[in-house]
């Protein structure tokens, strides 16, 4: 069975993202296939390069990146939701201040809903966290 996950929670403060991560590992350890993980709403914060963890805390963002590298799972970030949360400006000037370009980890792709639709068409199940 092919899965696509929709993650709407941040990497901290709620269980949405951590539950999605645990579910993704379970899918990959089974005979099923994980096609894509799409981050929307506050879920886009899972790709934020400026979030830091203490050394004794579980680093969920690092785990997403490891998942991508180990299993080639696509980590797609909604560009609209990211820009609404102050991420992914293209070196433009906004309100007199220069915004930076490197707000997301390289393992995450900025995409739109058309990319989500593409994966939904290929999936047997889409699960929202």
Active site residues: 78
Q: How far, CA to CA in Å, does 124 sit from each of 1, 16, 33, 35, 65?
A: 6, 21, 10, 10, 24
Could you tell me which residues are beta bridge partners of residue 109? 76
Gap between the Cα atoms of 107 and 6, Å rounded? 17
Gap between the Cα atoms of 124 and 129, Å rounded? 17
Residue 78 tokens, joined: 């909604």
Gap between the Cα atoms of 12 and 91, Å rounded? 28
Q: How far, CA to CA in Å, does 23 sit from each of 6, 64, 98?
A: 12, 12, 39
């Amino acid at each position: 069975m092919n899965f696509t996950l929709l993650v709407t929670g941040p990497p901290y403060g709620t269980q949405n993202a951590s539950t999605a991560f645990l579910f993704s590992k379970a899918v990959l350890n089974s005979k099923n296939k994980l096609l894509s993980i799409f981050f929307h709403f506050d879920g886009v914060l899972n790709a934020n390069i400026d979030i830091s963890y203490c050394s004794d805390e579980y680093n969920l963002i690092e785990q997403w990146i490891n998942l991508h590298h180990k299993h080639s799972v696509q980590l797609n970030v909604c560009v609209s939701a990211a820009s609404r949360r102050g991420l992914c400006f293209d070196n433009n000037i906004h309100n007199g201040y220069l915004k930076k370009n490197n707000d997301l980890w390289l393992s995450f792709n900025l995409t739109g809903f058309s990319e989500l639709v593409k994966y939904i068409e290929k999936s047997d199940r889409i699960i929202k966290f």
